[in-house]
Amino acid sequence: MKGVSVSGAIPEGSIEVVSAQDPGDIQLRLLKDDELTVMFYYHFRAIGLRGSDCRFRIINAGESVAKRLAGRTDDEHCWNTPGAMASYDLTEWFRVPGTYEDGVYNFSHRPEHDICYYASWPPYGLARIHRLVAKIQSFPHVRVSCLGRTVDGHDLDLITLGTSGLNKRACWIMARQHPSESMSSFFVEGFLERMLETWDPVVAALLEKAVFYVVPSMNPDGTQRAYTRNNATGHNLNRAWQEPDPKQTPEVFLVRQAMEEKGVDFSIDCHGDRELRCNFLGGPLEIPSKSPRLDGLFDTLKDAWASITPEYERGHPYPGGPPAEADLSMAWNWIAERFNCLSVLLEQPFKDTTWRTDPVSGWSPQRSTAFGGTLPSVLYKIIDQLR
């Protein structure tokens, strides 16, 4: 059709267009980071389809279903969703109906404007991360430094909130080891925005007791390349923490080096999970040096978060069940074992939460950002117990 274009050649874009001649049968294919990576991420733009009844078909969606994590066979898979995300302005996102059948994911939409964007979840690109870091650097209690460079030459930024001092706790917040899990960036944005409000008594008290180290983009190369899980060398960073290679996984190597220098009393590694319908927390329960102290701290954290916001619900088991032994190649496990500290994994949903379903947008950037803004209140309740 003349004047019609469907393309992934946009910032944070990722899709292969197989056929876009017929609006009622636009065929698409997910791109791979590599041959082993579970595919899910897509983000593309359609132009010239205003008022047309469009049907988009991701014809290789079934490949990701075939590569699910062990133990999840009986749980709903990642394409069992309320629908794809769509936006006209890249700010407000809404769901469009979607279904999965015979390995193909289908969603239908009649665009109301000339341009419409579609995504597995709203993107949060490297340019936006840079704008966030530039914005907050003017606050007197904020410093920004560079830990080093990635394979593609991107700076690995470290944001420091507060100043070190005697008996101050060292708290780490990390996001985007997996570049497609953009809700982790919205969460960190919410946390940072709250932590800039030094008039807030919770924030003021935290800054007196702790220093906060924030890595807003653990994988800038993967984000820029619009990958699902890997970095520029094809490695999953969250499987590299035990023995990071400075050439293959420099991101992990550099952050670990900074942690050794500054210490860790608390850490949260922020992710997203395509199959869950809740905000899930994983803790240091299976590490070799597990202890009643760490178990108790983790329970206190979960109780505190559940008491502050209904967006965190206790009682959701991790699909497939916990492993018998912790995988120390994963960030939160390695950190907990190395520093004998409360180190947790946060998984936010791509879908929605069971306690409150939003038919318009599901789990949205706005909800994720607001959820990040609750973390200071949670930390305030446990900060004195971390050591």
51 vs 273: CA distance, rounded Å: 34
User: Of the residues 275, 311, 337, 347, which is catalytic?
Assistant: 347
Cβ(252)–Cβ(244) below 8 Å: yes
SS3 label, residue 107: strand
Give 210's contacts (C-beta < 8 A, 6+ positions apart).
162, 168, 169, 170, 171, 265, 266, 379, 383
Known active-site residue 12: no
Write phi, then psi, for 346 (nearest 5 degrees): -110, 125
Write phi, then psi, for 180 (nearest 5 degrees): -75, -10
State the alpha helices, DSSP H only, in the chain.
Answer: 62-65, 126-136, 183-195, 201-209, 220-224, 250-262, 292-308, 331-339, 365-372, 375-382
Listing DSSP states for 252-294 in one string gives: HHHHHHHHHHH--SEEEEEEEESS-SS-EEE-SSSSTT--HHH
Size of the chain, expressed as the number of residues it contains: 387
381 vs 210: CA distance, rounded Å: 13
Largest CA distance in the chain: 68
Q: What does the radius of gyration of the chain's CA atoms come to, in whole angstroms?
A: 21
184 vs 346: CA distance, rounded Å: 9
Q: Which residues are catalytic?
A: 347
